Amino acid sequence: MIGELIMYHTLAVPLFLLVAGVVLAFWGNRIIPFAIIFLALILGFLQGGSLLLKFTENPDVLRFGPIVLAVVLAIAVSFLYRAAFFLAGLFIGYFACSALFPHLSSIIIWIVALISGALVYVSRNFVFSVLTSVTGAGLSATGIVNLIAWVNVSAGITTYWVIVVIITVSGVVYQTKRKKGRK
């Protein structure tokens, strides 16, 4: 898919990938929660009218309902975003503990699962730092390799992976250091 995008414009698309990748790699854990809430607001506002139209034709409800629906959806997404990390850690902790120690009491397994859920919830910023850095590094490396090819210089797969590793490590270090400096 990215190859098809690059064929659309061989200079603009790689530049966009480079910029978007760097932003994601270095500021990803900061923009993801806002982006999710913003997209929920947009979805609630854009789809709220057609959804409410199925239930009522009241012009006041159709005028103000999408705004209310957008806010409710944004609050729900914000809550689910946080709850998902706890539940992911809980499930992973439960199944890992059950698989590694099948003879443990179910109470102990559930205690381990709850502790795992809490640890994942507490470390979600680090998890997002790593995930957004890796994703941003991949986008940036794709952009850089295609920009190098645009100036008729060959860059192989090794160059791509070296760029990915450098940007990933730099992004994780920057995001985690910035987080510690604010507290």
pTM of the model: 0.60
Distance CA 89, CA 120 (A): 5
Read off the tokens for 181: 């400096």
Q: Is residue 52 within 8 Å of 61, Cβ to Cβ? A: yes
The predicted-structure confidence for 112-122, as pLDDT tens digits, reads as follows 999 988 988 88
The predicted-structure confidence for 44-70, as pLDDT tens digits, reads as follows 877 777 788 888 888 887 788 888 888
Count the alpha carbons within 13 Å of 134 in the hemisphere toward its beta carbon. Answer: 5
Q: Mark residue 153 as left, alpha or beta (left: phi above 0; alpha: psi -120 to 50; beta: remaining).
A: beta
In the block, residue with structure tokens 């003879």: 103
Q: What is the mean pLDDT of residues 158-177?
A: 92
Longest Cα separation, the chain: 64
Question: Domain residue spans in the chain?
Answer: 2-178
The predicted-structure confidence for 27-48, as pLDDT tens digits, reads as follows 888 887 787 888 788 788 777 7
DSSP of 134-158? HHHHHHHHHHHHHHHHHTT----HH
